Amino acid sequence: MSGDLTELYQQVILDHNKRPRNRGRLPTANRVAHGENPTCGDQCSVYLRLEGDRVAEISFDGAGCAISQASASLMTTLVKGRTTDEARGLYEDFKRIVTTGEAPEEISDLAAFAGVHAFPARIKCATLGWHAALNALKGEAAPASTEGAGS
Ligand code: ZN
């Protein structure tokens, strides 16, 4: 791997990795999905409680690299309180950032992951938690996979 990894691990990523938000099982969850990224060995489970069409509570649990865990942590803070459609929209923004490196200022914390685009193998790490969350919203029982993601 080449390139400057220090630039990749910006403050927001380091902070979420060190102090993950909404981490642990959510006892009141009515949707659960698990995702894994075999390429890197990342695991992520997302628990959420959907009330109507809104995510009332959300948490994640898992193990893996800093990118995957920080991304899942940040995802929970952004998706909480959103509708299913809003959550999908956030994921679309995030996917654009990590695949192109283009980060509009108003997207704030998500922009911390812009450096990921220079490391294509890490895109799957960054999107793992989002895939699990979207699958949980869809109510799919099957494990989420990031294989084929980024297209
Ligand atoms: Zn990873």
Per-residue pLDDT of the chain (151 residues; tens, 9 = 90+): 334 556 667 888 999 999 999 999 999 999 999 999 999 999 999 999 999 999 999 999 999 999 999 999 999 999 999 999 999 999 999 999 999 998 776 667 888 899 899 999 999 999 999 999 999 999 854 455 565 444 3
Q: Tell me, what's the pLDDT at 149?
A: 43
| Alpha carbons 107 and 20: distance in angstroms, whole number | 20
pTM: 0.86
Q: Tell me, what's the pLDDT at 1?
A: 39
Question: Could you tell me the distance, in angstroms and rounded to a whole number, from the CA of residue 16 to the centre of ligand 1?
Answer: 14
Question: Could you tell me the distance, in angstroms and rounded to a whole number, from the CA of residue 67 to the centre of ligand 1?
Answer: 6
Q: Tell me, what's the pLDDT at 6?
A: 60
Under 8 Å between Cβ of 49 and 71: no
Q: Tell me, what's the pLDDT at 11?
A: 86
φ and ψ at 110, to 5 degrees? -60, -30
Q: Which domains does the chain have, with CATH numbers?
A: 3-140 (3.90.1010.10)
Question: Could you tell me the distance, in angstroms and rounded to a whole number, from the CA of residue 68 to the centre of ligand 1?
Answer: 5
Question: Could you tell me the distance, in angstroms and rounded to a whole number, from the CA of residue 19 to the centre of ligand 1?
Answer: 17
